[in-house]
Amino acid sequence: MPLVPTRRGASCVWRGMEMRDNSGGMTMRILRLWLWLVPITLLMAAVVFAVVAALNDRWALFAVMVVMGFLAVGLLWFHWWAMYRFGGGRGTEEEGRRE
Q: Where are the domains of the chain?
A: 33-86
| Average predicted confidence (pLDDT) for the chain | 78
String of b and e for 1-35 (b: at least 16 CB within 10 Å)? eeeeeeeeeeeeeeeeeeeeeeeeeeeeeeeeeeb
The pLDDT value recorded for residue 98 is: 47
The pLDDT value recorded for residue 99 is: 45
Please, are residues 88 and 8 in contact by the beta-carbon 8 Å criterion? no
pLDDT tens profile 20-63: 555 678 888 888 888 889 999 999 999 999 999 999 999 999 99
Q: Give the confidence band of 4 by pLDDT, cuts at 50, 70, 90.
A: low
Burial of 73 (0-12, 13-18, 19+ CB in 10 A): middle
The pLDDT value recorded for residue 44 is: 96
The pLDDT value recorded for residue 32 is: 86
Residues 68-87: what's their mean pLDDT? 90
